[in-house]
Structure 1
Amino acid sequence: MSDELEAQFAQWRSYVRRRRELRGADVEELEDHLRGSVEELTAAGLRDDEAFLVAVKRMGSLDELSREFAREHSERLWKQLVLTGDSQDPADPGKRRELLVLVACAVGAALSVKLPALFGAGLDEDAAFYATNASLFALPWLAGFLAWRRRAGLAVVGVLVGLFAVGAVAANAYPLAENSQSVVLTAIHLPIALWFAVGVAYVSDDPRSPRRRMDFVRFTGEWFVYYVLIGLGGGVLIAFVFGTFEAIGTSPETFVSQWLAPCGAAAAAVVAGWLVEAKQSVVENIAPVLGRLFTPLFTAVLLGFLVTLVVTTSGIDVEREALILFDLLLVVVLALLLYSISARDPLAPAGLFDKLQLALVVSALLIDVLVLLEITGRITEFGTTPNKAAALGENVILLANLAWSAWLVLGLVRRKAPFAAVERWQTNYLPVFAVWAWVVVLIFPPVFGYL
Structure 2
Amino acid sequence: MTNTTSEPHNDSIFKEAIVVFSLAVLAAVLIKLPSIFGYDLDQNENLYFRNMSFFALPLVTAYFAWKRELKTKTILFLTIPFLMALTFANIYPFEQHADTEVLLALHLPVTLWLLVGIAFSGRQWRQSNERMNFIRFYGESFIYYVLIALGGGVLSGFMALIFGTIDIDIEPFFESWLLPCGATGAIIIAVWLAEIRSNLAANFAPVLAKLFSPLFAIMLITFLGVMAFTGKELITDREVLIAFDLLLIVVLALLLYSISARNSEDTPGVFDVIQVVLVVSALIADAVALLGISERIAEFGFTPNRVAALGLNLILLVNLIWSVVLYIRFLRGKSSFSVLEKWQTGYLTVYAAWGAIVVIVFPLLFGFE
- Counterpart CA distance in 1 for 2:116 and 2:40 is 27
What amino acid is the match of 1:382?
A: F
Determine the structure 1 residue equivalent to 2:344.
Answer: 426
Kept in 1: contact 2:108–2:359 (CA 8 A): yes
1:90 CA displacement = 8.0
What amino acid is the match of 2:64?
A: L
Determine the structure 2 residue equivalent to 1:43.
Answer: none
Kept in 1: contact 2:50–2:101 (CA 8 A): yes
**Could you say if the C-alpha distance between residues 91 and 419 of structure 1 is closer, same or farther in structure 2, counting changes exceeding 3 Å?**
closer
Aligned pairs for 1:312-391 (under 5 A) are 312-391=230-309
Q: Deviations over 1:278-336 (max 9, x none)?
A: 11123752233111100000000000011011001112333332222111111111111
Q: Deviations over 1:385-439 (max 9, x none)?
A: 1110000000000000000000011111122211011011111111001010111
**Could you say if the C-alpha distance between residues 407 and 211 of structure 1 is closer, same or farther in structure 2, counting changes exceeding 3 Å?**
same
Q: Give the alignment partner of residue 15 of structure 2, picking from 94, 97, 103.
A: 97
1:238 CA displacement = 1.4
Determine the structure 2 residue equivalent to 1:301.
Answer: 219
Q: Which piece of structure 1 moves more, 362-371 or 278-287?
A: 278-287
Residue 29 of structure 2 is aligned to residue 106 of structure 1: no
Q: Which piece of structure 1 moves more, 386-395 or 244-253?
A: 244-253
Q: Give the alignment partner of residue 141 of structure 1, picking from 48, 59, 65.
A: 59
Determine the structure 1 residue equivalent to 2:203.
Answer: 285
Q: Give the alignment partner of residue 177 of structure 1, picking from 92, 95, 101.
A: 95
Instruction: For structure 1, list consecutive stretches of 5 or more residues without a partner in the other structure.
Output: 1-84
Higher RCO structure (Cα 8 Å, ≥6 apart): 2
Q: Which piece of structure 1 moves more, 161-170 or 211-220?
A: 161-170
Q: Deviations over 1:317-376 (max 9, x none)?
A: 333322221111111111111111111111100000000000000000011111111211
1:381 CA displacement = 2.4
- Counterpart CA distance in 1 for 2:42 and 2:234 is 36
Kept in 2: contact 1:113–1:266 (CA 8 A): yes
Residue 328 of structure 2 is aligned to residue 414 of structure 1: no
What amino acid is the match of 1:231?
A: A
Instruction: For structure 2, list consecutive stretches of 5 or more residues without a partner in the other structure.
Output: none
Kept in 1: contact 2:137–2:194 (CA 8 A): yes
Determine the structure 2 residue equivalent to 1:264.
Answer: 182
Kept in 2: contact 1:225–1:287 (CA 8 A): no
Aligned pairs for 1:24-35 (under 5 A) are none
1:87 CA displacement = 9.7
Determine the structure 2 residue equivalent to 1:153.
Answer: 71
Q: Which piece of structure 1 moves more, 239-248 or 279-288?
A: 279-288
Kept in 1: contact 2:68–2:120 (CA 8 A): yes
Residue 76 of structure 2 is aligned to residue 165 of structure 1: no
Q: Deviations over 1:246-267 (max 9, x none)?
A: 2111111221111110001110
Q: Give the alignment partner of residue 161 of structure 2, picking from 243, 247, 252.
A: 243
- Counterpart CA distance in 1 for 2:28 and 2:112 is 18
**Could you say if the C-alpha distance between residues 87 and 378 of structure 1 is closer, same or farther in structure 2, counting changes exceeding 3 Å?**
farther
1:449 CA displacement = 0.8
Which structure's CA Rg is the greater one?
Answer: 1
Determine the structure 1 residue equivalent to 2:323.
Answer: 405
**Could you say if the C-alpha distance between residues 345 and 268 of structure 1 is closer, same or farther in structure 2, counting changes exceeding 3 Å?**
same
Kept in 1: contact 2:145–2:187 (CA 8 A): yes
* TM-score when normalising by structure 2: 0.95
Q: Which runs of 4+ in 1 moved over 6 A?
A: none
Determine the structure 2 residue equivalent to 1:117.
Answer: 35
Aligned pairs for 1:190-205 (under 5 A) are 190-205=108-123
Residue 159 of structure 2 is aligned to residue 216 of structure 1: no
Kept in 2: contact 1:138–1:266 (CA 8 A): yes
Q: Which piece of structure 1 moves more, 115-124 or 177-186?
A: 177-186
- Counterpart CA distance in 1 for 2:354 and 2:192 is 28
- Counterpart CA distance in 1 for 2:315 and 2:162 is 50
Among all aligned residue pairs of Structure 1 and Structure 2, give the percentage whose two residues are the same amino acid: 45
* TM-score when normalising by structure 1: 0.79
3-state SS in 2 of match to 1:384: coil
**Could you say if the C-alpha distance between residues 283 and 194 of structure 1 is closer, same or farther in structure 2, counting changes exceeding 3 Å?**
closer
Kept in 1: contact 2:234–2:291 (CA 8 A): no
**Could you say if the C-alpha distance between residues 398 and 176 of structure 1 is closer, same or farther in structure 2, counting changes exceeding 3 Å?**
same
What RMSD over aligned residues (CA atoms) do the two structures have, in Å? 1.7
1:89 CA displacement = 4.9
Q: Deviations over 1:160-200 (max 9, x none)?
A: 21121122122211112341112221221112222122112
What amino acid is the match of 1:370?
A: V
- Counterpart CA distance in 1 for 2:58 and 2:14 is 22
- Counterpart CA distance in 2 for 1:88 and 1:316 is 62
